[in-house]
A and B are shown apart, each in its own frame.
Chain A
Amino acid sequence: MNQHTKSHSHFRPIYVGTACVMTAALVMALYFAPTEETMGHVQRILYLHVSVAWIGLLGFAVMGAAAMAYLFRRDLDWDCWSQAANEVGWLCCSLTLLTGSLWAHSAWGTWWTWDPRLTTMFILWALCSCCLVVRGSIEHPHHKARLAGIIAVLGLIDLPLVVMATRWFRGVHPVSPEMEPTMRITLLLNVVAFTIFFTVLFLRRRSQLLSERLLHSLEIQTLKIREMEILT
């Protein structure tokens, strides 16, 4: 058995555990949680919506913190953390807007409204998208990391606005609705399960980005050595 296979078997319990927790959370959300009287089955979108929204915010916070660390230390390892958080955060922010829109169509009769919570979340998604575009369009690793880092740090201003939007401004988005204990437990389980799942995904992506970066520098070194061999 080689080292690669060994490292995979080392992570297998984590993957199996994550899959089990996710299955339990989905079964709870779709089957065991009681059906809400007014909205019916559509209310079950809430378990998914809240979970991905939480990961989206967490992802953006990690991205901002890692970007700040990069801007202070100029160490590209921190940019790998930031990029991994950016990708996972963007995915979750997009899913938040999508699930929210589908829920809003059933609850409010409209796909979108410029409610403070929705608007601030949309700004967050736009900033996440900006960072991804910057990362995809600039070649130099430090230039890319610096610009994406500045956007991420500026975006941190929007984070408390998203969290507190329903309390600070008047809007239609629910604050924290009354729930039955089973619903509350289901919601909590879903949040925990999604946090574990996306953390595993984030850590895998981060290690992938690290090895990609190391490999890139190794390839450049090999090229230089070959050039020198040809010249001599």
Chain B
Amino acid sequence: MTTLIVTYVICAFAVALYILRMSGLQRQILKRMAAQQLPLQSSAAEKSGD
């Protein structure tokens, strides 16, 4: 039972890390778009709290 739980937890953790990395990169893209003064995305960057 422990092996099963450990396996599923590790997999969930790995996928969560990848999703977190993706959302971090997305925030960076929005920041760069705001720096380029792209009007639509700059408001989205402000919304994301950056």
Contact = CB atoms under 8 A, between A and B. Distances in A.
Give the residue among B3, B4, B6, B47 with the most A Cβ atoms within 10 A.
B4
B3 A212 contact: no
Interface string A198-232: 00010011001001100100110010000000000
Given A95-B14, A212-B29, A215-B33, A42 B44 contact: no
A185 B34 CA distance: 48
A106 B11 CA distance: 18
Nearest to B37: A222
Contacts of B10: 98
Contacts of A3: 40
B40 to A, nearest CB: 5
B40 A42 contact: no
A48 B32 contact: no
Contact of B36 (A2, A40, A205, A215): A215
A102 interface: yes
Given A3-B40, A215-B29, A102 B6 contact: yes
B18 A91 contact: yes
B20 interface: no
8 contacts: A2-B40, A4-B44, A26-B8, A91-B14, A94-B14, A102-B6, A201-B22, A204-B22
Interface of B: 1, 3-4, 6-8, 10-11, 14-15, 18-19, 22, 25-26, 29, 32-33, 36, 40-41, 43-44, 47
Interface of A: 2-5, 26, 30, 40-42, 44-45, 48, 52, 87, 91, 94-95, 98-99, 102-103, 105-106, 201, 204-205, 208, 211-212, 215, 218-219, 222
